Amino acid sequence: MTSQAALAPVEVAIATVLPCFWIYKNTGDFIYRQKQAEGNPYKNWINTYAGEEFGVLVERALEIYNDVAIQCTEAQQA
């Protein structure tokens, strides 16, 4: 993932890291909806990725990705 993000064309780099945004957001939301035990050592992580602020960042990442993808060739999109 690091080499793709660092060495590949920007559209490939974006496609490489975009799933991280979705996974962290979906996981954070799922865990947040569950009953949280007091003293959960992952509480800060959960609150970060389940929060509305991170959701805004995910939406922005998707917008950027879509803007870049529209400009790609069919081969690049595939």
- Residue 1 has a pLDDT of 78
Q: How far is CA 61 from the centre of its chain?
A: 7
pTM for the structure as a whole: 0.74
Measured CA to CA, the distance from residue 64 to residue 8 in angstroms comes to 17
Domain ranges of the chain: 2-77
- Residue 32 has a pLDDT of 87
Tens-of-pLDDT digits for all 78 residues of the chain?
787 778 888 888 888 888 988 899 999 999 888 877 678 888 888 889 998 999 999 999 999 999 999 999 888 888
- Residue 56 has a pLDDT of 95
